[in-house]
Copies of this chain bind each other. A is one copy, B any other.
């Protein structure tokens, strides 16, 4: 079951270092809909990519509800003009949110860099025996 675009639930759990419970939970929440071989879940490459997206969203601090939105963004929307425009709107919102978050990170990194510098200064001073 390891070749040909097919993954068991354990394959994915091990690869991404999460529990099978977590994966089933995501399915409960409607985030994934793997195929079945009889009773067992069978995951395709697309399912795997989708899970990857979900976990990326988690790392970025999004809730599962938000991730539901985010993930559905990557599926091609319907072809009517109002739907496309709605879709574009949602895309823009998510982008601006992420850009704010990136700015937050930049600020924090700057702060950390300053703290590191001060710390190194203190270390050399201390090592030189100056009280």
A84 touches B123 (CB 8 A): yes
Residue of B nearest to A59 (CB): B104
Quick one: given A102-B105, A109-B99, are A118 and B81 in contact (CB under 8 Å)? no
Q: Is A79 engaged at the interface, CB distance under 8 Å to the other chain?
A: yes
Q: Is A30 engaged at the interface, CB distance under 8 Å to the other chain?
A: no
Identify A59's interface contact among B85, B101, B112, CB under 8 A: B101
A74 touches B122 (CB 8 A): no
Q: Is A108 engaged at the interface, CB distance under 8 Å to the other chain?
A: yes
Quick one: given A59-B101, A108-B60, are A122 and B84 in contact (CB under 8 Å)? yes
Identify A94's interface contact among B88, B102, B112, B127, CB under 8 A: B112
A72-108: CB near B (< 8 Å → 1, else 0) gives 0110110111001101100110110011111011111
A-B contact pairs, 18 of them (CB 8 A): A56-B104, A59-B61, A59-B100, A60-B104, A60-B105, A61-B62, A73-B115, A74-B115, A79-B122, A79-B126, A81-B126, A81-B127, A84-B123, A88-B116, A95-B112, A95-B113, A95-B116, A105-B105
